[in-house]
Chain A
Amino acid sequence: MAHWLAMGGYAIYVWPAYAVFLAVLAWDWFAPALRRRRITRELRGRLARERTRNARTERAEAST
């Protein structure tokens, strides 16, 4: 195992290369999920506000 990890003396080049590969792709995979959560949250808020506003106008109209 230690022999394998040493990569024939090139460990300081081989493992960082694989780390960059994994880290950048992890970013690529998770960034849209975060963006998606934000979009959904904003939209949900907008819809909720719309509903309250509609309910208020309805009540105002009913009382006149």
Chain B
Amino acid sequence: MSRSYLPHWMHWLGSPPNFYRFAGTLRPWLMALALASAAIGLYGGLVLAPPDYQQGDAYRIIFIHVPSAWMSLFIYATMAVAGLIALVWRVKLAEVIAMECAPTGAAFTFITLATGSLWGKPMWGTWWTWDARLTSELVLLFLYLGVIGLCNAFEDRRRGARAASLLALVGIVNLPIVHYSVQWWNTLHQGTTVDFLDPARSSIAAPMLWPLLVMALATHLYFFASILGRARTGLLSLESGKQWVRTLVDGQPAPTMEAPT
């Protein structure tokens, strides 16, 4: 394996015991920041922001619906990148991260569909419609579930992770479909609310926009905290035969590790 062109810190972090310790230190801070920003974002969205002139207070679902939808795509992309690294370089940590992304991604996709349904009922008069945006988001949920299922279908977990990584990579074609569905097809789902590439096209007022962006920040921070915890558990289970895990669960001092130079 020629990984010598990688910076030294990446090499260091790629080693399971080092990553385990590093993730354990970082995780509580990320979660604290996530909770703090969520508190600010929810206060801004549920209390400070005015009601929408068309949708009244029902639009307030946007502050969790849209950040969750962004996360469903972001986590999928993360999973696919980790999956690619797992397939090409067979890095154990990348396999674990790719597979541990799937449950959290599925969770956010489910939240997107459920909150969308609760928003659709009062606005469109229906819980569900086979509209392009909704259908492609449902396909995204099935892709996540497919990755989880395929990974668990193998006796050898590392082979399962690589097979599921391949599925994750193939499923990438669905991401632009979800994103552009409201432009490509004339659908019931409303158009883009926040356009990062062309802010002038965004259709949202500042008192509603900032809580939305803060909630997006909160969900990202939450995901980073969550994936670090999940990856730690995944490594613990995958490396249970290794000396560092034995020392860890035996309650004896952790093995000394080389500090990055």
Contact = CB atoms under 8 A, between A and B. Distances in A.
A32 B249 contact: no
B245 interface: yes
A28 B226 contact: yes
The DSSP consensus for interface residues of chain B is helix
A40 B246 CA distance: 9
A13 B236 CA distance: 41
Interface in A23-62: 24-25, 27-29, 31-33, 35-36, 39-40, 43-44, 47
A9 B118 contact: no
Contact of B56 (A9, A27, A35): A9
Contact of A43 (B104, B114, B119, B245): B245
Contacts, number: 87
Interface stretch (B59-67, B168-176, B194-202): B59-67
Interface centre among A13, A20, A31 (most CB of B within 10 A): A13
A24 B56 CA distance: 26
A13 B119 contact: yes
Interface string B40-70: 0000001100010000111011001100100
A29 to B, nearest CB: 6
Interface string A3-22: 01001111001101110110
B230 interface: yes
Contact of B57 (A8, A28, A44): A8
Given A32-B230, A39-B233, A17 B250 contact: no
Interface centre among B115, B226, B232 (most CB of A within 10 A): B115
A7 B237 CA distance: 46
Contact of B229 (A8, A16, A33, A40): A33
B11 interface: no
Task: Report, nearest first, the 10 A-B pairs whose CB atoms are least far apart.
Answer: A8-B57, A10-B58, A7-B57, A17-B115, A8-B56, A17-B118, A36-B233, A21-B64, A32-B233, A28-B107
